Amino acid sequence: MATQPCRNKEAPVAFGGHCFADAGLLRQALTHRSAGSPHNERLEFLGDALVSQIVAEALYVQWPRAAEGGLTRARAELVRESALAGIARHMGLGEQLVLGPGELKTGGHRRDSILADALEAVVAAIHLDAGFEACRRAVLPWFAPLIAALPAPDKVGKDAKTRLQEWLQARQRNLPVYSLLEEGGDDHARTFKVRCMLDEPVVTVQGEGGSRRAAEQQAADAALQAIGA
């Protein structure tokens, strides 16, 4: 989503669903510190708080009966660096970034940390340009697909091994048994294959990953799918 002229003549440029009256705010939000000042670090600070508030309110409305723990885990899922970077990529934010020569050479426009920080800075820029309500209206649609895709509140933020264990314990069944089947690869690119076995119901599945833990998580996820949990 490139910056575009705005239909409102008093707002010269649009980005992220908002028409900026002050194009300088957007320019600063998209400027990494490697490109000099004014850059987006202060805007990022403000944007971090705004994103947290907007997402928290959306979850509070979405799940009127959810406990605090589930809401907290869901917010953490939505505002983590990789989630924000994913939104930024969907918006084409990376192509709009102003980076210094070093960051340009190393592909800074693709880096999660830079994308997430810039997205937060854009949120702050919208808020400063038009106020909180306009900011909320622009930002909520960015998160709507992620919110809709969240699992039930009591499952948010729990990894596959934890969810599998809780499912089995709730039914007073034996815990899964994980065993390492294979380990290989170079030191810098190890691969692990793990088997996960359940005795009730009888399930045997496998998982692979760059660490034994990652392979066990993948195997647990496969087991959850097998038992329909």
Q: Which residues contact 69 (CB under 8 A, 6 or more apart)?
A: none
Strands 18-20 and 13-15: antiparallel
Smallest Cα–Cα separation from 147: which of 53, 220, 74, 80?
74
Task: For residues 181 and 206, give the distance between their C-alpha atoms in angstroms, rounded to a whole number.
Answer: 9
Task: Note if 48 is an active site residue.
Answer: yes
> How many Cβ atoms are within 10 Å of 75's Cβ, its own excluded?
20
Per the residue annotation, which of 48, 77, 117, 221 is the catalytic one? 48
Per the residue annotation, which of 44, 77, 117, 120 is the catalytic one? 120
Task: For residues 208 and 217, give the distance between their C-alpha atoms in angstroms, rounded to a whole number.
Answer: 9
Question: How is the beta sheet containing 191-199 ordered, strand by strand?
Answer: 177-184, 191-199, 202-209
Helix (H) or strand (E) holding 117: helix 112-130
Residues annotated catalytic, as ranges: 48, 120
